[in-house]
Chain A
Amino acid sequence: MIKNYFKTAWRSLWKHRVVSFINIGGLAVGMAAAVLIFMWVQNEFNFDGYHQNAANIYRIKNHLSIDKRTTWIWENSSYRMGEEASRQIPEVEKVTRIRPLNYAPTYFKINGEFFPEKDVALIDSSWFDVFDYEFVSGGPEAFNSEPFSLILTESKAKKYFGNKEAVGQIIHIDTLDYKVQGVIKDIPANSSFTFDVLAPIASRRANPKEKENEMQWGNFYYITFLKLNPRSNTKKVAKKIETITAKARETNNLAISLTPLKDLHFESGLQNTALRQGNKKAIVVFGALGVFLLVIACINYVNITTARASLRAKEVSIKKIVGAGRGTLFMQFVAESMVISLFALIFTVIIISASLPWFNSFTGRNFTLDPGNISLLTVVLGTLFFAVVLNSIYPALLLSSFKPLNTFRGISVLKLNDATLRKALVVVQFSFSILLIVGVITIYRQMSFIRSQNPGYNRSQVLSFGLPFRRFFRTITDEQRASTTQSIKNDLKALNMVTNVSLMAMSSIQNNDGQSSGGLDWDGREKDFDPAMAYFQVDADYMKIVKMQLKEGRWFDEGRKFDRKNAILNEAAVKELNLHKPYIGQRLVSRGDTGQVIGVVKDFNFKSLHEKIGPAIIKLDDYYSTDYLIQVAPGKQAEAIKGIQKVWDKYCPGDPFNYTFLDQEFDNMYKEDAKVSGLMSVFAIVAIIISCLGLFGLAAFTAEQRGKEIGIRKVLGASVSGIVTLLSKDFIYLVLISLVLSSPLAWWLMNKWLQNFAYRAELQWWMFATAGIIAVLIAFCTISFQAVKAAIVNPVKRLRSE
Chain B
Amino acid sequence: MLSLQHISKYYQTGGNKAYVLNDLSLDIDQGEFVSIMGPSGSGKSTLLNIIGMLDEPTNGYHYFMEQPVHQLKEKQRSALYKQYIGFVFQAYHLIDELTVYENIETPLIYQNIKGAERKALVADMLDRFNIVGKKDLFPAQLSGGQQQLVGIARALIGKPKLLLADEPTGNLNSKQGEEIMELFSKINKEDGVTIIQVTHSEKNAEYGSRIINLLDGRIESTTTL
B96 and A323 form a contact (CB under 8 A)? no
Residues of chain A within 8 A of B95, CB atoms compared: 315, 318-319
A321 and B109 form a contact (CB under 8 A)? no
Residues of chain A within 8 A of B171, CB atoms compared: none
B97 and A322 form a contact (CB under 8 A)? no
- A247-296 with Cβ < 8 A to chain B: none
Q: Which residue of B lies closest to A325 (CB)?
A: B110
Q: Mark B84-119, 1 if CB is under 8 A from A, else 0.
A: 000101000111111000100011011110000000
CB distance from A9 to the nearest CB of B (A): 9
B87 and A323 form a contact (CB under 8 A)? no
A315 and B107 form a contact (CB under 8 A)? no
Residues of chain B within 8 A of A328, CB atoms compared: 110
User: Any chain B CB within 8 A of the CB of A512?
Assistant: no
| Given A8-B97, A12-B97, A405-B49, also A321-B158 (CB < 8 A) | no
Q: Mark A285-325, 1 if CB is under 8 A from B, else 0.
A: 00000000000000000000000000000110111011111
A15 to B94, CA, bound (A): 16
A314 and B107 form a contact (CB under 8 A)? no
User: Any chain B CB within 8 A of the CB of A411?
Assistant: no
User: Any chain B CB within 8 A of the CB of A1?
Assistant: yes
A-B contact pairs, 29 of them (CB 8 A): A1-B112, A7-B102, A12-B97, A15-B96, A15-B97, A314-B93, A315-B95, A315-B96, A315-B97, A318-B95, A319-B106, A321-B54, A321-B87, A322-B106, A322-B107, A322-B110, A323-B82, A323-B107, A323-B110, A323-B111, A323-B158, A324-B106, A325-B78, A325-B110, A328-B110, A404-B54, A405-B49, A405-B54, A408-B89
User: Any chain A CB within 8 A of the CB of B127?
Assistant: no
Q: Which residue of B lies closest to A407 (CB)?
A: B93
A325 to B110, CA, bound (A): 8
SS class of chain B's interface: helix, strand, loop or mixed? loop
SS class of chain A's interface: helix, strand, loop or mixed? helix
Residues of chain B within 8 A of A404, CB atoms compared: 54
Q: Mark B46-70, 1 if CB is under 8 A from A, else 0.
A: 0001000011000000000000000
CB distance from B24 to the nearest CB of A (A): 19
A541 to B98, CA, bound (A): 88
A493 to B98, CA, bound (A): 88
Residues of chain B within 8 A of A323, CB atoms compared: 82, 107, 110-111, 158
A318 and B93 form a contact (CB under 8 A)? yes
Q: Mark B166-205, 1 if CB is under 8 A from A, else 0.
A: 0000000000000000000000000000000000000000
Contacts A322-B87, A322-B154, A328-B110 aside, 13 further interface pairs with beta carbons under 8 A come to: A1-B112, A4-B109, A7-B102, A315-B96, A318-B94, A319-B106, A321-B54, A321-B87, A322-B106, A322-B110, A404-B54, A408-B89, A408-B93
User: Any chain B CB within 8 A of the CB of A11?
Assistant: yes
Residues of chain A within 8 A of B107, CB atoms compared: 322-323
- The contact of B55 among A15, A318, A324, A405, by CB within 8 Å, is A405
Residues of chain A within 8 A of B106, CB atoms compared: 319, 322, 324
B98 and A1 form a contact (CB under 8 A)? no
Q: Which residue of B lies closest to A14 (CB)?
A: B97
Residues of chain B within 8 A of A324, CB atoms compared: 106, 110
Residues of chain A within 8 A of B82, CB atoms compared: 323
Q: How many residues of B contact A (CB 8 A)?
A: 22
Q: Which residue of A lies closest to B155 (CB)?
A: A322
A324 to B87, CA, bound (A): 14
A774 to B223, CA, bound (A): 73
Residues of chain A within 8 A of B158, CB atoms compared: 322-323
A11 to B111, CA, bound (A): 23
Residues of chain A within 8 A of B55, CB atoms compared: 405
B54 and A8 form a contact (CB under 8 A)? no
CB distance from A410 to the nearest CB of B (A): 11
A325 to B109, CA, bound (A): 11
- A584-608 with Cβ < 8 A to chain B: none
CB distance from A336 to the nearest CB of B (A): 11
CB distance from A624 to the nearest CB of B (A): 83
A8 to B112, CA, bound (A): 17
CB distance from B55 to the nearest CB of A (A): 6
Q: Which residue of B lies closest to A315 (CB)?
A: B95
CB distance from A185 to the nearest CB of B (A): 52
A404 to B81, CA, bound (A): 14
A1 and B109 form a contact (CB under 8 A)? yes
A419 to B49, CA, bound (A): 30
Residues of chain A within 8 A of B94, CB atoms compared: 318
CB distance from B58 to the nearest CB of A (A): 15
Q: Which 10 A-B pairs have the closest CB atoms?
A: A323-B110, A322-B107, A323-B82, A11-B97, A324-B110, A318-B93, A323-B107, A405-B54, A315-B95, A12-B97
Q: Which residue of B lies closest to A15 (CB)?
A: B97
Residues of chain A within 8 A of B89, CB atoms compared: 408
Residues of chain A within 8 A of B110, CB atoms compared: 319, 322-325, 328
Residues of chain B within 8 A of A7, CB atoms compared: 102
- B129-157 with Cβ < 8 A to chain A: 154
Best-buried of B96, B110, B154, B158 by chain A (most CB within 10 Å)? B110
A408 to B90, CA, bound (A): 11
Q: Mark A400-429, 1 if CB is under 8 A from B, else 0.
A: 000011001000000000000000000000
Residues of chain A within 8 A of B111, CB atoms compared: 323
Q: Which residue of A lies closest to B83 (CB)?
A: A323
A315 to B95, CA, bound (A): 6
Q: Mark A314-345, 1 if CB is under 8 A from B, else 0.
A: 11011101111100100000000000000000
Residues of chain B within 8 A of A318, CB atoms compared: 93-95
Residues of chain A within 8 A of B102, CB atoms compared: 4, 7
CB distance from B106 to the nearest CB of A (A): 6
A405 to B81, CA, bound (A): 15
CB distance from B76 to the nearest CB of A (A): 13
A408 to B92, CA, bound (A): 11
A315 to B106, CA, bound (A): 12
Q: Mark A9-41, 1 if CB is under 8 A from B, else 0.
A: 001100100000000000000000000000000
Q: Which residue of A lies closest to B93 (CB)?
A: A318
CB distance from B138 to the nearest CB of A (A): 9
Residues of chain A within 8 A of B87, CB atoms compared: 321-322
CB distance from A179 to the nearest CB of B (A): 71
A607 to B89, CA, bound (A): 81
Residues of chain A within 8 A of B112, CB atoms compared: 1
CB distance from B84 to the nearest CB of A (A): 11
A408 to B154, CA, bound (A): 18
A796 to B49, CA, bound (A): 36
CB distance from A20 to the nearest CB of B (A): 13
Q: Which residue of B lies closest to A318 (CB)?
A: B93
Best-buried of B102, B109, B112 by chain A (most CB within 10 Å)? B109
Q: Mark A750-761, 1 if CB is under 8 A from B, else 0.
A: 000000000000
Residues of chain B within 8 A of A325, CB atoms compared: 78, 110
A8 and B49 form a contact (CB under 8 A)? no
CB distance from B90 to the nearest CB of A (A): 10
Residues of chain A within 8 A of B96, CB atoms compared: 15, 315
Residues of chain A within 8 A of B98, CB atoms compared: 8, 11
Residues of chain A within 8 A of B93, CB atoms compared: 314, 317-318, 321, 408
CB distance from A689 to the nearest CB of B (A): 30
CB distance from A5 to the nearest CB of B (A): 10
Residues of chain A within 8 A of B154, CB atoms compared: 322
A671 to B93, CA, bound (A): 64
A318 to B147, CA, bound (A): 14
A318 to B107, CA, bound (A): 10
A441 to B87, CA, bound (A): 62
CB distance from A156 to the nearest CB of B (A): 58
CB distance from A28 to the nearest CB of B (A): 24
Q: Which residue of A lies closest to B151 (CB)?
A: A318
A339 to B77, CA, bound (A): 34
A1 to B154, CA, bound (A): 17
Q: Which residue of B lies closest to A324 (CB)?
A: B110
CB distance from B21 to the nearest CB of A (A): 15
A408 to B52, CA, bound (A): 14
